[in-house]
Amino acid sequence: MLTGPSSRLPCNYASGRGCEREKLSGAMTNDPQTSGPANPAASARGAELASDYTVSLHYDQRLYKQDIAGSIAHAHMLSKQGIIGEDDADQIIVGLGKVKAEIESGDFPWKPELEDIHMNVESRLFELIGDVAGKLHTARSRNDQVSTDTRLYMKQAAGDTVMALRTLQEAVVAVAEANLETVVPGYTHLQRAQPVLLAHHLLAYFEMFDRDATRFAAARASADVMTLGNGAMAGVPYPIDREFVAKELGFSAVTTNSMDGVSDRDFALEYLSAAAISAMHLSRLAEEFVVWSSEEFKFLALGADYTTGSSIMPQKRNPDFAELARGKTGRVYGNLFAMLTTLKGLPLTYNRDLQEDKEGLFDSVDTLLATLDVTTGMISGANFNADRMRQAAESSYVLATDIADYLVGKGMPFREAHVIVSELSDKLIDGNRYFKDLSFEEYEAASSLFGRDVMEIGVDSSIASRDVLGGTAPGRVKSAIVEAKARLQEAGK
Ligand code: ARG
């Protein structure tokens, strides 16, 4: 039998039919308790809006695989426990396979009026296998179902995000390794501060992405707890085997309080907050790409694939990809705040507000994965201008700290040395000169502690002197690269 009597389903259950009275909230009924709508036409329009208003199918249809996998595992368990017959379960499972095939081939007759993915799948199952489809929803509610589907999805998404971060980290390490000798001014307040190796600068981002990966792994662990079996919110009155379903679906654990289970969206918040932090890191890197590729800096040229021309100015190679990576951060932050705000006033347990968990979550997943991908390409394809960077480091006052440290080496208290070198710097800045232009006589005039060896201080000696754990000395940066590679290997890269 191929057509199911979907109209026999309860109102607003799978057919969407027979629900008018409830859907229209009394406005279109002859309920003697109400006086009827003042404006029937406006009210009819309101009814149409009201149903559109509740639809989530356009975004939750991406959960179809999880929904079908969840239903198959549930059907297996129901028959194993003798709650439904084995034949019934077999029919349901075969039918669900057909539903999946239809969705994947594009033949699935989507019905937005059925509101969400769960109703669409179940209603189609009715059409394909008939009344027996009605046994699938035994001992289950859409409340535990939707949460399990979303958790399954988020486990995958968080895992994908970790992998995308690892790929980006790999690219960062490769570019760092290729720039082990490239010198660049390090900045504070966007003022040239002290010389560093470009590799050291880039590896700072490796660390940020490493922490991000740890946060996404934690978000994945939070999602890795199954809610099926919570029912609507109190548990279910059947001898179900939750551990069996969890195992079938690859969950590490099951929730321990049904009321918390159906209303908990912490796993979503954890992904969203990890995404907000990671987007912030990507935005900082993007900002450096924008600034460094400007004509003022010219520290790098972005690959042609990552710039766009201007419709009016023929000379332009705009860093649009970096700008969008920076710009999209706002939306990723917004998604976190939207979710926090949706949750803040909700009484236990399920409230329809919770349907609002998905759109922003999916948007953050998509945006972040795309930004990670673009950033990986952008950093791998960037052409760093080593000469320009070295020149920027040398034509500046970045050696001032080293010269003060020289005096400290001769026994002067650091604060005193700071004053002397600060005065020297002022004098140089006024004369439009740099430390390398200072004669030994000028040093001597500033302090008798200066010896001729002060003339040997340069950007390379400055970098070499930062030989502490976490410092920019070449040996330390080389070890940092070795360690970074080991961390990636440990992470399965
Ligand atoms: N589409 C709904 C959601 O995403 C499914 C759960 C509906 N449950 C309910 N009691 N209305 O939350």
Q: Which of 25, 310, 395, 479 is catalytic?
A: 310
Residue 200 bears catalytic tag: no
Q: How far is the CA of 272 from the centre of ligand 1 (A)?
A: 21
Percent of the chain at pLDDT > 90 equals: 84
Asked whether residue 350 carries a pLDDT value surpassing 60, the answer given is yes
Report the distance separating Cα 126 and Cα 10, nearest Å: 13
Asked whether residue 23 carries a pLDDT value surpassing 80, the answer given is no
CA-proximal residue: ligand 1, atom 3 (nearest): 355
Average pLDDT over residues 278-303: 97
Distances (CA, A) of 72 to 80, 106, 261: 12, 21, 21
Beta pairing class for 253-254 and 300-301 = unpaired
Angle subtended by helix axes 357-381 and 142-178, to nearest 10: 10
Domains of the chain plus CATH, in order, are: 5-25+56-135 (1.10.275.10), 142-391 (1.20.200.10)
Task: Pick the atom of ligand 1 nearest to 117's CA.
Answer: 1
Residue 479 bears catalytic tag: no
Q: How far is the CA of 281 from the centre of ligand 1 (A)?
A: 35
Task: Pick the atom of ligand 1 nearest to 357's CA.
Answer: 4
Peptide bond into 349 cis (omega under 30): yes
Ligand 1 pocket: which of 55, 59, 143 to mutate (most atoms <8 Å of CB)?
Answer: 143
Average pLDDT over residues 405-410: 94
Secondary element (H or E) of residue 174: helix 142-178
> pLDDT confidence of 293, banded at 50, 70, 90?
very high
List ligand 1's pocket residues with C-beta within 6 A: 56, 116, 142-143, 146, 350, 352, 354-355
**pLDDT tens by residue, 141-151:** 999 999 999 99
Q: How far is the CA of 62 from the centre of ligand 1 (A)?
A: 15
Average pLDDT over residues 89-100: 98
Task: Pick the atom of ligand 1 nearest to 115's CA.
Answer: 1
